[in-house]
Amino acid sequence: MARTRSALKHWSLPVLVGLGVALSGLALKSICAPWSWGGSVETYTNLCYSDLGPLYWGRGLADGIVPYFESFDGHFVEYPVLTGMWMWLIAFISHLLVGAASVGTFVGLTWATSVVFIGFTLAMIARNTTGNRHASWWLALSPALLLVLGINWDALAVLCAVTALIYYQRNQLSIAGIAIGIGASAKLFPALLLVPLVAHALTHRKLKDGLKHSARLTMTAAATWLVINLPFILFAREGWIEFYRFSRERGIDFGSLPLGLNYVFGIKMSTEQVNTIGLIAVSVTAILLLVFAKRLSIYQSAFAIVSVFVLVNKVYSPQFWLWMTALLVMTGVSRRAFIYWNIAEAIYFVGIWRFLLFTQDPTASGAVGYQTYGWIVLLHWVSTVTVTVYALSSQKVRNL
């Protein structure tokens, strides 16, 4: 009996359970293989759309192009360089294994690497102290892990974000900075973690030591990012800059607050207005985190800055749910708030696909129209604001 209790408490158990949940979710998505996981009535009806299939064909990976150095049909890969090279490496291996273009092999291998990254993320949380001693279990059993892991290339950035926070807590600033630099080269959001970590360093140490720690962390992150990105800046600048150009010029898109307000109340905002509001909101949040850093843990501050970034963004992609979950489970937020927020996110997950089903076939069973989808977007927004407030008010982790 004692051995059984000890086994149930071992850090590896939530990792194994989480891997099982992730694989179950990917198995559910595999039913869309006949449609290459692309946009169609079938994929939206079965809630199993993935960006992997459409971008395998649409960005020339099936034809062997090298992202950033080559475009396909006038389009460069619109992701930071580590994500693009992850895409290329898996496509290259797929072609070696199969001898020809194979979207199924590409998707399967990409999912396999995502599961590996998530496994390391779960192990990192399970073996370290955060604001929630059950954090690894919450992530392992989360609907986000089940439903959105296979949509895009997010698992590497999530691993880097979690690694940065935990190694900062261990006072291993170089590793934390390297993790941020790698993460920011895969997705943008890990770069935001510099804000709470620098704020924590400046307010929890003497001024001289705080400045020294902040500089070390920032310079390590910047140097890591530069080492990864510099070859592309020098030799594939047009392709490299596509992500930043696309992010700036992208219009108001699915899941964003402006879109919800437009669909429900007819309120219209321009892309420039949303860009400006977003920049101001993130900047104000950064200042507030510096002011209140002594009252918050690094986990609370990290979730806050990423939450604001998501809330004011021009798009809310379903896979952002995974980013938010990995950070939220470490904040010490109450179980009830976590569950209610996940219910709202699950409603949004179903809603976005059923709205896209409506755009394909307005008469399809289960299709959701513009106004209903707008209300679902607003529900997501309000629930995320609410869970952020609850996370920031938690008293469990103030001493971390």
**pLDDT in tens for each of the 400 residues of the chain?**
445 455 556 899 999 999 999 999 999 999 999 999 999 999 999 999 999 999 999 999 999 999 999 999 999 999 999 999 999 999 999 999 998 889 999 999 999 999 999 999 999 999 987 778 899 999 999 999 999 999 999 999 999 999 999 999 999 999 999 999 999 999 999 999 999 999 999 998 888 888 999 999 999 999 999 999 999 999 999 999 999 999 999 999 999 999 999 999 999 999 999 999 999 999 999 999 999 999 999 999 999 999 999 999 999 999 999 999 999 999 999 999 999 999 999 999 999 999 999 999 999 999 999 999 999 999 999 999 999 999 999 875 554 5
What was the pLDDT predicted at 7?
Answer: 52
Token pair 């261990």 is found at 170
What was the pLDDT predicted at 57?
Answer: 96
Q: Which residues, 6+ apart, have CB-to-CB distance to 192 below 8 Å?
A: 282, 302, 305, 306, 309
Distances (CA, A) of 117 to 82, 111, 122, 147, 156: 14, 10, 9, 16, 6
Q: Nearest-CA neighbor of 222 among 250, 271, 182, 167?
A: 182
**Amino acid in the structure at residue 18:** G
What was the pLDDT predicted at 399?
Answer: 45
Q: Which residues pair with 70 in a beta bridge?
A: 67
Sort 125 into a burial class: Cβ within 10 Å, 0-12 / 13-18 / 19+: buried
Provide long-range contacts, Cβ within 8 A and 24+ apart, for 138-142: 138/325, 138/329, 138/338, 139/14, 139/18, 139/325, 139/326, 139/329, 140/14, 140/15, 140/17, 140/18, 140/21, 141/17, 141/18, 141/21, 142/21, 142/325, 142/329, 142/342
Backbone angles phi, psi at 365, to 5 degrees: -65, 130
Contact 159, 178 (CB under 8 A): no
Tell me the two tokens of residue 95.
Answer: 């072609």
Q: Nearest-CA neighbor of 302 among 394, 225, 197?
A: 197
What was the pLDDT predicted at 394?
Answer: 83
